[in-house]
A = this chain, B = another copy of it.
Amino acid sequence: MLRVRATRERKLSRGGARAVKRGSPPGHHRVPAARPRAARGGGAGLSRDPALPGSPGPAMLRLLAAGCLLPAGPASCSRAWLPRPPGPASGRGLLSRQGRAAAGSAGGGGGGGGQVPALKTPKGTRDHSPVHVVLRDRLLAAVVACFKRHGAAAIDTPVLELREMLIGRYGEGAKLIYELQDQGGELLALRYDLTVPFARYLAMNKITNMKRYHVAKVYRRDNPATTRGRYREFYQCDFDIAGQFDPMIPDAECLKIVHEILSDLQLGDFLIRVNHRQILNGVFAVCGIPESKFITTCSTVDKLDKMPWEEVRSEMVGEKGLSPEAADRIGEYVQLHGGLDLIERLLQDPKLSQNKLAKEGLGDMKLLFEYLSLFGITGKVSFDLSLARGLDYYTGVIYEAVLLQQENDHVEEPVSVGSVAGGGRYDGLVGMFDPKGRKVPCVGVSIGIERIFSILEQRVEASGEKVRTTETQVLVATPHKHLIAARLKLISELWDAGIKAEMLYKKDPKLLKQLQYCEDTGIPLAAIVGEQELTDGVVKLRDVATREEVDIPREKLVNEIRRRLEP
């Protein structure tokens, strides 16, 4: 007998996993850019796979331990480069106010009319402040490090594509494509994902083998955007393997990558849901659905993550025109989930085992689980027949990773934890672009950086840690007037030696103001030259935290600064 449970019940019953809410139906490599509120101390319940001795600590630990995160304390400060705290962008509010409030919303009260344009970014887009960029770049670096660890090369493609290149690739997503005005010449659109441009790149350059990653922004006119914190411009981090290979080896590696990244980042417990388009199609076939309705039925099944089975069923019957009996038969299958045991049982299923598509799909799935077991990651992978993924181009294995909220998290605010990675196999897409229809099988995964970023951001904020937005090592300062020339000469020497140095852009700044600037922005050293120092051929080197000052012979200054700042 097959295990069947109602969707809601299932979602509540998984060990410790409550309220697994996701955004809207994720497309391929589409990870909704919702901004969940992370559990404070969300890493507490984290379970990690055993790593080899000598393995480096998780990336998140390295991030948090990095020099750029200053310890909270009176002598160090977070205030980016804003010595005069001006409104919304200073102090602790940097992280929250500039980051959150600015999603397509007005900053000033200027209003639309008149000479001054409305002071806002377009709906669903936002600026990234220096603190944002520092945290985002660290996160991207961790993701890219994983992609490189798996031997991928990087490519980049234009933000613009020919409109006809994107048409008919995204199922119901098509209406979300940004189109450019016809200003004469080609009809253009903004890329909707990085997968279609990759397939176009392969076909155009006649490449039949490639393992590539691509980290870039994509554009979707999603509506409503900002209320759910879903952005219209957001990053995707894609890893794809193109080429004719033995079954499931590249597919298994994609899942291993998701597992590595989510483990390294310590995002709390997670689950990778896996399904197979051929199994779904087999299910549809044995339930009496005509082949012409497979894709549209898929996109309805895909909604099982955000609506109960009853509603999905009524969409199938009402909008999609399936018979109630067919819908009920589908319902028996798509509410199943499990591991190798479920695969074995479905292989014995009297109806499915007679269907060629389903049999092939289940064979793939069995092999996949064998490989995942060798990778030691089956504990976090669930074969889940409700996973459908909305995009037209999938042909084989599909998957999606969701973060699970820990039972032991004590959170004041409601937490929505969602999909943070997704992908699958698309063996037909490249052939659609090739003039001769030559196929290049592909499988890939996209990491949903926006969602992960918001978790990281909230964690840093909750910890009270200060994020430095500059890397300046030395402030070149003078203790009294008429020394601008001395400062310019010294700072020029430091820059030429590769030292990161700043000075105040005042002719005669007060020493106190200069030292205050060091404390405000986290600069660890001040190099002070006065008349006396110039006469003696020395520079007074001050440790900003301890306030200790030592005279250093000028010719030894660069080496002394390097020595002081060695990690």
Contact = CB atoms under 8 A, between A and B. Distances in A.
Interface string A135-179: 011000000000011111111111111101101000000000011
A54 interface: yes
A536 interface: no
Nearest to A376: B492
Nearest to A440: B86
12 contacts: A49-B496, A52-B497, A108-B204, A111-B435, A117-B167, A119-B200, A122-B160, A129-B205, A148-B470, A151-B502, A250-B505, A256-B495
A89 B165 contact: no
A291 interface: no
B498 A149 contact: yes
Contacts of A159: 159, 190, 217, 219, 233
Nearest to A372: B488
Given A81-B151, A505-B241, A121 B157 contact: yes
Contacts of A320: none
Indicate the size class of the contact surface on chain A: 35 or more
Contacts of A183: 178-179, 221
A186 B128 CA distance: 21
A433 interface: yes
A369 to B, nearest CB: 13
Given A116-B434, A120-B162, 17 more contacts: A81-B153, A110-B435, A119-B434, A121-B160, A121-B204, A125-B160, A127-B158, A127-B204, A136-B156, A150-B495, A150-B500, A151-B472, A151-B502, A160-B233, A179-B183, A180-B180, A256-B495
A81 B489 CA distance: 48
Interface string A193-212: 00000001101111111111
Contact of A206 (B89, B160, B252): B89
A543 to B, nearest CB: 19
A256 B151 CA distance: 39
B152 A82 contact: no
A206 B153 contact: no
Contact of A501 (B111, B116, B151, B205): B151
* A interface, over-half SS: loop
A264 to B, nearest CB: 10
Interface string A483-506: 011001100110111111110011
Given A178-B183, A507-B249, A558-B52, A500 B204 contact: no
B158 A205 contact: no
A415 to B, nearest CB: 27
A81 B203 contact: no
A510 B184 CA distance: 54
Contact of A243 (B148, B167, B505): B505
Interface in A506-543: 506-507
Contacts of A158: 121-122, 125-127, 233
Given A122-B162, A156-B128, A81 B209 contact: yes
A265 to B, nearest CB: 14
B89 A205 contact: yes
A260 interface: yes
Given A179-B180, A180-B178, A558-B54, A87 B151 contact: no
A29 interface: no
A127 B151 contact: no
A133 B147 CA distance: 15
